[in-house]
Structure 1
Amino acid sequence: MVNSIVLCLPFVGLLLCIALFPIFNAEWWEKYKAIAVAFWIIVFAILFTISNSIVGTAESVLESFFGDYLTFIVLLFGLYCVAGNISFDGDLAGSPGVNVILLIIGTFLSSIIGTTGSSMLMVRPIIKMNSWRRHKGHIMIFFIFMISNLGGALTPMGDPPLLMGFMRGVPFFWSLNLFPVFIFNLAVLSVIFYFIDRKRYKRDLARGRRPDLSKAGTEIKFSGLHNLIFLVMIVVAVILSGVLPTLPAFQDAEGAVLGIHILGEVTFTFPAMIECVIILVAAFLSFKTTNKEIRERNHFTWGAIEEVAILFIGIFITMAPALTLLKSVGPDLGLTKPMQMFWTTGALSSFLDNTPTYLVFLTAAGTLGYTSGIATTVGIIPAHMLLAISCGAVFMGANTYIGNAPNFMIKSISDENGIRMPSFFGYMKWSIGILVPVFILDTLVFFL
């Protein structure tokens, strides 16, 4: 146990760097973040080699890269490229009413094309419509709360944890059982956002900032809509990544998923390859068929995806021991009530990848010996327990910038567009002050 905790130190060190350096020395961090990430990966490799072996270290790093990071970053890259080739132009100005409507639309859209897809599609239009405003950081914070996290609750396409549940026997449409919690949270957050935005909207108007409302609402124009075809290609690729591993054609005699053997037990599976190829082809075709003027209007750059790629390679590699430790102690934590599952799954999903965290507690629930509920490959799980685990994993990824894949991307794009976003801990002040009370209400209403 002590050894496992020591191996978690590089992950903790990297998180502290992400949290503190932008506060105390932002210029250094912007220039040398890649060196900081490399440093913690090297520290991890040294500690892991001392504890295990060079081969064991190589296997752990390669498993993190091929098993998790590669498909993660390819998906983000594809969505970033395709969404960057869709432009919104119109006369809508960023008022509280318009902003609430767009956030609600984006939140529902997240369950159809995923939180990352919806986030990439909606972020630039919302930034454009509010470009005249001075106080707009809160808009992007609620964007992360609602579109980048809450919206993924209604289908397995919405968020990877639910997709993993589907792969383990949870019926595809079972996640619609999350709708009462989803709509409750959506209503509460929409009301809170409206009043915060209205106050700051009036403050902007009082300081002489004015949108051009002479033609407001008379013309809305989308450019590059053919890219929706490529967006559908990416959605299909994600669905296939969940379905193909369950087919006999992609399994060997022991039921293991076929692929290219890398080292030890590390395999780059054929379903993962197919997913990556489809997504990269979609991104390539998107660029080849879209006029670069659309990207120029979107202020498209590679900065945001580059930052996410650098930070998350370090996160995925160094968090492996933390996930291993969680898997070993998860079934022994004595979590037998929905409230416990909701908060434990959610708290860990705020800092660890919410997909393996979801799987740990799904497995833990399946070992509790229930005889009625949802029949999955990990055991029978009562509906109220599965509801709590699913909501915790999906909703509480919004608690930090690193809790869910789109969060940091939205922060980076906002920073690039001159929106002053809070620091890591500054963002957590918002999530603790707004989301935690909402989650307490969830507990009282749905999980007691």
Structure 2
Amino acid sequence: MNAVAHLDGAILSWFWAMPFAGILLSIATGPVLYPHLWEHHYGKFAAVFAALVVVPLFVFVDSATVAATLSHTVLLEYLPFILLLLALFTVAGGIYLEGNLHDSAFTNTALLGFGALLASVVGTTGASMILIRPLIRANDGRDVNVHVVIFFIFLVSNIGGSLSPLGDPPLFLGFLKGVDFFWTTRHLLAPTLLAIGIVLAVFMVIDVTLHHREGNFPGKSDPTPDSPLRLHGKINLLLLVVIIAAILMSASWKPGVSITVLHTTLELQDLLRDLIFVLVTFASLWLTRAGHRAANQFAWGPIKEVAILFAGIFICIAPVMAILQAGANGAFAPLVALVSHGDGTPNIAAYFWLTGGLSAFLDNAPTYLVFFELAGGNAKMLMSSGAATLAALSAGAVFMGALTYIGNAPNFMVYAIARDAGVRMPSFFGYMLWSGAVLLPVFAVLSWVFFH
């Protein structure tokens, strides 16, 4: 039984969504507007917003319902989510690509295309961390190289992660809600390939033009001499296969064994999957040479921040989910009407653009959850009769995370790495000029072809 359903969203006002909006706005503005304060106190921000949900719930709702709601949120949603991210983060951090390629439009395009495909296997964060430094090294002898990093964020840190639950956090949340592992592969393959193809074509035109222009002027010497590429930490590729196998096992093996904790049913296959994530994390640390992680500048800070912030997000989103489950009887009835036609059928284009537009500014994982619930929250229904709706909101959440530095976690990480390497990255709004000019026309094409 779904414990969150015990919380009656029909009796909750929209005020219950304010902590959720507050924590998302803090995440969106903190690293940009007050980075020093945010860096040292983001955990306190998350704790305050979570308390603004938990304390009133215990005051206005019976304690058994609150306990069941929170246990469901933590045990069935948050822990599997963060343990998968931890395993992927650790495994990807142990894969080190050594060497340097001579930059060319072909080399850059090939790396971007490969990275976009890799993102659905090791996640957008993993693929970004593996490939961003080799890409920067390949272009560090150029006078103009910022466009290479910008398109890297478009393709590797976002669009490429749309083909599996491993690719981007929203899709794994969908998997936890019951979406089949390969559903997104089948239904988003065509839009993803079209988006990647158009963006790569635009990149190649820009890169070829800049190469020809730079060829007319004396260039600076390449500070990183060319050397063959060598892949280190190959054992982590095997561990990645173990992660995929664990996820497939939890989706297909149903032994019927479970335990109940605070009215939340925990299935044996899910507990085993999460245990495998933990074991893979330790195995990667044990089997990977410390020097390879050091070369990747691997550190625990990013995953620590994600774990703390998403703990707050998952708690703050619980009453929002309950209100959305109430549908037209809940406080968000106007939002329900916005994504529906007059006859009650879903407005596919609205799901694509609203999910994507909010994902660009409010982090794509919680935004996906909101619109997944708004679409009915029933994975079996959404995968069949609601397939167009599920595909639209999935694509919107993943693709449009590329519109800003804060739309998806790897975006800002890539930005920071590139700046440290001397790349003159654009400001927050400068980046949006790039993303708006390149990506919005692409998304308009996708909307017209697939999500109308």
Tell me if TM exceeds 0.5.
yes
For the 8 Å contact 1:305–1:409, the answer to whether it is kept is no
Aligned residue in 1 for 2:35:
26
Q: String of CA shifts for 1:177-211, please: whole Å, max 9, x gaps.
A: 43332222112212333455567779999796432
Superposed CA deviations along residues 211-250 of structure 1, whole A, max 9, x for unmatched, are 2576x3x512112212211111122222223333xx2x13
Contact 2:124 2:410 (C-alpha < 8 Å) held by counterparts:
yes
Equivalent of 2:221 in 206, 210, 218:
210
Q: How does 1:147-296 map to 2 (within 5 A)?
A: 147-155=156-164, 158-159=167-168, 164=174, 172=182, 175-195=185-205, 209-212=220-223, 216=226, 219-244=228-253, 247=254, 249-250=255-256, 258-261=258-261, 263=262, 265-296=263-294
For structure 1, which segment, 293-302 or 342-351, has the greater mean C-alpha deviation from structure 2 after superposition? 342-351
1:22-44 CA-to-partner distances (Å, cap 9, x unmatched) read 33332222112212221211222
Q: What is the aligned partner in structure 2 of residue 434 from structure 1?
A: 438
Partner Cα separation in structure 1 for residue 405 and residue 281 of structure 2:
25
Supply the AA of the counterpart residue of 2:402. A
2:317 is equivalent to residue 319 of structure 1: yes
**After superposition, where does 1:15-414 map in structure 2 within 5 Å?**
15-93=24-102, 95-130=104-139, 139-155=148-164, 158-159=167-168, 164=174, 172=182, 175-195=185-205, 209-212=220-223, 216=226, 219-244=228-253, 247=254, 249-250=255-256, 258-261=258-261, 263=262, 265-329=263-327, 333-335=339-341, 336=345, 337-347=347-357, 349-350=359-360, 351=362, 353=365, 356-357=369-370, 359-360=372-373, 363=376, 376-377=380-381, 380-381=384-385, 384-385=388-389, 387-399=391-403, 403-404=407-408, 406-407=410-411, 410=414
Amino acid at match of 2:186: L
User: What's the % identity of the aligned pairs?
Assistant: 35
Alignment check: 8 A CA contact 2:140 2:224 kept: no
Letter in 1 for 2:29: L
Structure-2 separation of matches of 1:319 and 1:137:
37
CA distance in structure 2 between the aligned counterparts of 1:441 and 1:306, rounded to whole angstroms? 38
Cα distance in 1 for residues equivalent to 2:70 and 2:430: 32
Alpha carbons of structure 1 residues 291 and 55: separation in structure 2 relative to 1, 3 Å: same
What is the deviation of 1:321? 2.5
Structure 1 Cα separation of the partners of residues 97 and 64 of structure 2? 50
**Residues paired across the two proteins, number:** 426
Kept after mapping to 2: 8 A contact 1:20/1:424: no
SS of alignment partner, residue 220 of structure 1: strand
- Tell me the equivalent position of 1:369: none
Residues of 2 paired with 1:174 and 1:160: CA distance? 13
8 Å CA contact retained: 2:162, 2:184: no
**Please, what TM-score do these two structures have when normalized by structure 2?**
0.78
Q: Report deviation, 1:92.
A: 0.9
Residue type matched to 2:189 in 1? F
CA contact (8 A) 1:363 1:379 kept: no
Contact 2:121-2:166 at 8 Å conserved across structures: yes
- What is the identity, as a one-letter code, of the residue corresponding to 1:211? D
Change in 2 beyond 3 A, CA 1:239/1:430: farther
Contact 2:130 2:296 in 1 (8 A): no
| CA 1:365–1:288: 2 relative to 1, 3 Å | closer
Q: Cα 1:390–1:122, aligned 2, differ >3 Å: closer, same or farther?
A: same
Q: Give 3-state SS (helix, strand or coil) of 2:231's partner.
A: strand
Structure 1 pair 24–199 and aligned structure 2 pair: CA distance change class (3 A): farther
**Aligned-partner residue type, residue 310 of structure 1:** I
- Report the residue type matching 1:221 in the other structure: R
Structure 2, unaligned stretches of length 5 or more?
Answer: 1-9, 328-334
CA shift, 1:128, in A, is 4.7
User: Residue deviations 1:240-281, cap 9 Å, x none?
Assistant: 23333xx2x136xxxxxx2441x2x33444333222221221
1:389-443, CA deviations, whole angstroms, 9 ceiling, x for partnerless residues? Answer: 4433442343455655655655566677676766776655554443333211212
Question: Hey, what's the Cα distance between the residues in 2 that align with 1:150 and 1:377?
Answer: 25
Amino acid across the alignment from 2:221: R
SS at structure 2 position matched to 1:144: helix
